[in-house]
Structure 1
């Protein structure tokens, strides 16, 4: 096997380290939590639509299974997000959205329209463990702040082993190293931008 995901992560280790040690997560902050929710109220529904579109284009059974798992996961996360938003008394407000925060979901939508299932599998699987680790930290901070509706943080915290195994096979099918490197670097830069936006 080519270990596509592992090689891409190795190439991105410096960028990923910036995300994993981001200053927005150095201490519990209600303001950071609020900004997270404000932007996720826009991001998760659009991610869900993008993933549903990719699912509608798949033919191979392993691709159907992979993207169905992701759609189901985002659907559960959307419900949990609304519980958290209700507790925090936050509603979707376009005037509160950060352009940097929502760049990730716009790129995912572009991939859903223009990319192969391999492109999308690479983007998501390179990203998920880094995203999951940061969301796990934010969930710990939310509990310190006595927030009750913390299911969303658990849903995004992994493990991701089954998804990674399926993604590796899908990415091998559409292998294009130059394209995959561009996609992986872009999605992780947008991930860093998201966390930057929470303290700007």
Structure 2
């Protein structure tokens, strides 16, 4: 049963995998060359992303549990989005230590103006929370989570080795870099339920995923451009 769902999830993730050279900021962080002000901007942008995604995932969980006019209740997708929302809440708590390490305190956060290209991603996640078929959204998020997890793995290693950050300051990125077998299990269950109910639109899932990956790329490119201006 799970194998069919896994094949679909892995197939979508493979089709949407980003160009490994697309993220120009990542190599700078990896070798310790990114400016501290850029890392502060990363922390400040993530404050907005995490808060928005947390609410979006809660709404997706509620929609899934209640069903819509065109789809019955989908408890498997609801469980997946509930876990995502819990993860975002935990991420928000861990982000504070990273923000403190890069000098992004509350006073700076209050004055900070978010970058448009950085906030395109959470804006689209919020759109999906209102308009997307939940199972299609599960599939679309898979590719982006895979890329984001890889980015976080690189970043957390660099923060320790090049920037001298401790475990607490790296905790935000550690959270996303670590394997998440329970979340994967819930994603597979949601996809399988969607297959069984014939409510998955592969075209829609891929379209959502392409947009998510494009907005993810814009996020990092905006920070890279800022880093170049600071340098």
TM over 0.5: yes
Q: Distance in 1 between matches of 2:134 and 2:153?
A: 27
| 1:51 matched residue in structure 2 | 57
Per-residue deviation at 1:164?
2.8
Paired positions, count: 197
Match of 2:183 among 142, 152, 163: 163
| 2:113 matched residue in structure 1 | 96
Gaps of 5+ in 2: 66-73, 226-231
TM-score, normalised relative to structure 2: 0.78
Match of 1:147 among 165, 177, 183: 165
Contact 1:24 1:32 in 2 (8 A): no
Q: Distance in 2 between matches of 1:9 and 1:120?
A: 12
| Residue 34 of structure 2 corresponds to residue 17 of structure 1 | no
TM-score, normalised relative to structure 1: 0.89
**Rg: which structure is higher?**
2
Per-residue deviation at 1:96?
3.3
| 2:213 matched residue in structure 1 | 188
Q: Which runs of 4+ in 1 moved over 3 A?
A: 93-96
| Residue 66 of structure 2 corresponds to residue 36 of structure 1 | no
Q: Distance in 2 between matches of 1:179 and 1:62?
A: 19
What is the RMSD of the two structures over their aligned residues, measured on CA atoms?
A: 1.9
Q: Deviations over 1:99-154 (max 9, x none)?
A: 11111100000000111211221222221111011012111222221223111011
Contact 1:4 1:168 in 2 (8 A): no
